Amino acid sequence: MKISKRTQDMPASAIRKLVPYSDAAAAQGIKVYHLNSGAPDIASPDCVKQALAQRCANFHHLSYTNSAGLLELRQGLIEKYYRKVGIELELPELIVEVAGSEAFSVAMEIATDPGDEIIVIEPFYTNYQTFAYLHNITLKAVHTGIHDDFRIPDISEFEKLLTPRTRAVLISNPCNPSGKLFDKEEMLAIGEFCRKNDLFLISDEVYREFTYTDAPHFSAMNLPGCEQNVILVDSVSKRYNLCGARVGCIASHNKDVMAAAVKFAQSRLCPPVLGQYAAIAALDTPDEYFAQVRQEYIRRRDFTVARLNAMEGVYSPMPYGAFYAMAELPVDDAEAFCKWLLTEFRVDGETTMMTPVRSFYKTPGEGINQVRIAYVLEVPEMEKALDILEEGLRAYPGRTI
C-alpha cells in the first residue's frame, strides 16, 4: 500500500515539525519555553468566558450553523469592520471560516488554477507554501532583508516577477514572521500594481491590532480602486487570544469571489459553533483590553530585541507589528541548532524552543541562520528563555563564532 506522491512530497510544517522533540523533552520532565509558536499566554477577554459559560450551560444540542457562519456573528463582524476599519460590507461579502488557515487556503484556490503563480514577500508565513503546494500554485518571492529592516523594495521588483500566470499578490500585514508593518505608501503602491495588472490582492490582516507605531494600520480593504481585487483574510485567534477557537473570516466586495467562497464553505458544512459563540462574545471586548495587550507586547518586544542584540553575534531588527522578532544567530544551521536545544541542551532542566525560518524564504540559502522568536511569554519568562538561548549559543558545536 503506497500513499500518494503528492502527500509523500508535501512539506512538513516548519513551525510544527520540531514538536515531537519538544514533546519528548516535556515527557522527560524538561520545561520548554515555547517561543516557537504564535500562541500567546494572555487571557481572553472576560466577556468571552462569561458568555461562553452561559451558552454552554444552556444548549440543547450543537447543530450545524449556516455554512457562512451564524448570522449574529456575521452581522457583528460587519458592524466591527465599519466602526474599526471604516469599511462597509454587505452580508454576502463576508463568510466565517475555520480560522485564518482556511480563509487564505480558500482565497488562494479562488485566485488560481493549477500551475498559476502568486507573488509573496519573503520572509512569509510558511504555511502559505504548504497550501501553495497542495493547490499546485507557484510562489514567487519579492525579497526583503533582515539587515534592511524588511523594507518593501520598489515596485519594479514586483514587476520583474510578473508572468502570464501571475494571478495574485499575497501579503500579511503586519507580517508574520518579520514584524514588518506596511505603511500607507507601500500599500498604495502594491494596490496600484494589482489594479494595473488585474491581480487579486490577498491581504492577511490577522495581526491588525498589534502595531507599535503612531500611524494607524492601513487595511487593503481601504485601497481606492481595488474593490474587486482585494480578498481580506482575518481571524479572532490573535486578537482575542482565542487561537484554539478556530474562527476567522474572508471578506471581499468581489461577488464572484464570495460566490466561490460559499461553495467551499458548504463543502465542509460549517465553522465550529462553540468557537463562533466565543467570537460573538468577543465583539463586546472593551477598547481597554487592546490597549493593555498592546502595552504588554511593547514591553515584551523591547525586552526581547534588546536582549537578543546584546548577545554576541546575534542581530535582531526592531519589529513594528505582530509579536515576532527575527534574529540572525551565529550558527551554521538554525534548524539543527533549534533541534539541538530540544534534544541535547538543558539549563537546570529547562530549554528553549524557537522556529527556524529557512522555509519562510523562497530564495535558496536565505534565512539559514535565522530564527523567529514569538515574544508570547511574560518578560520574566522571556528572560529565562533568552538566557538559555545565549548559553546554548556558547555551547553549540555548530557555532560560527
For its own copies, the binding residues in 33-52 under the rule CB under 8 A are 37, 39-44, 49, 52
Distances (CA, A) of 302 to 69, 121, 307, 325, 386: 39, 25, 8, 10, 13
Separation between Cα atoms, residue 293 and residue 43, nearest integer Å: 9
Q: Taking a C-beta distance cutoff of 8 angstroms, is the pair 171, 120 a contact?
A: yes
Separation between Cα atoms, residue 64 and residue 356, nearest integer Å: 39
| Least gap, CB of 40 to its own copies (angstroms) | 7
| Least gap, CB of 257 to its own copies (angstroms) | 6
Site for its own copies in 348-387 (CB under 8 A): none
The DSSP 8-state label assigned to residue 271 in this structure reads -
| Least gap, CB of 390 to its own copies (angstroms) | 27
Site for its own copies in 165-184 (CB under 8 A): 167
Residue 254 or 343 having the CB closest to its own copies: 254
Residue 28 touches its own copies, criterion: CB under 8 A: no
Q: Taking a C-beta distance cutoff of 8 angstroms, is the pair 367, 315 a contact?
A: no
Comparing C-alpha atoms, which of 216, 109, 131, 228 is closest to residue 173?
Answer: 216
Residue 65 or 178 having the CB closest to its own copies: 65
Q: Taking a C-beta distance cutoff of 8 angstroms, is the pair 121, 193 a contact?
A: no
Pairing type for strands 230-235 and 248-251 reads antiparallel
| Least gap, CB of 4 to its own copies (angstroms) | 5
For its own copies, the binding residue among 155, 188, 243, 368 (CB under 8 A) is 243
| Least gap, CB of 397 to its own copies (angstroms) | 28
Separation between Cα atoms, residue 347 and residue 30, nearest integer Å: 10
Residue 16 or 299 having the CB closest to its own copies: 16
Site for its own copies in 269-308 (CB under 8 A): 269-275, 278
Site for its own copies in 92-111 (CB under 8 A): 98-99, 101-102, 105, 109-111
Residue 97 or 328 having the CB closest to its own copies: 97
Residue 29 or 365 having the CB closest to its own copies: 29
Q: Strands, DSSP E only, in 70-195?
A: 94-97, 117-122, 138-143, 166-172
357: cell is 525560518
For its own copies, the binding residue among 87, 93, 127, 353 (CB under 8 A) is 127
For its own copies, the binding residue among 263, 286, 344, 397 (CB under 8 A) is 263
| Least gap, CB of 202 to its own copies (angstroms) | 12
Question: How big is the CA angle at 376 (ends 101 and 326), to the nearest 5 degrees?
Answer: 80
| Least gap, CB of 267 to its own copies (angstroms) | 4
Q: Taking a C-beta distance cutoff of 8 angstroms, is the pair 371, 329 a contact?
A: yes
Residue 105 or 352 having the CB closest to its own copies: 105
For its own copies, the binding residue among 19, 30, 155, 162 (CB under 8 A) is 19
| Least gap, CB of 39 to its own copies (angstroms) | 5
The stretch near its own copies (CB under 8 A) out of 2-10, 304-312, 320-328, 339-347 is 2-10
Separation between Cα atoms, residue 278 and residue 187, nearest integer Å: 32
Binding mask 50-89 toward its own copies (x if CB under 8 A, else -) reads --xx-xxx-xxxxxxxxx----------------------
Site for its own copies in 197-236 (CB under 8 A): 198, 200, 228-229
The stretch near its own copies (CB under 8 A) out of 5-13, 180-188, 340-348, 361-369 is 5-13
| Least gap, CB of 96 to its own copies (angstroms) | 12
Residue 101 or 178 having the CB closest to its own copies: 101
| Least gap, CB of 192 to its own copies (angstroms) | 15
Task: Tally the C-alpha atoms within 13 A of residue 311's C-alpha that lie toward its C-beta.
Answer: 24
According to DSSP H, which parts of 160-212 are helical?
Answer: 184-196
How many residues would you count in the chain?
A: 401
Residue 264 or 320 having the CB closest to its own copies: 264
Separation between Cα atoms, residue 95 and residue 99, nearest integer Å: 11
Q: 545565549: which residue's cell?
A: 390
Comparing C-alpha atoms, which of 70, 54, 90, 92 is closest to residue 260?
Answer: 92
Q: Taking a C-beta distance cutoff of 8 angstroms, is the pair 281, 123 a contact?
A: no
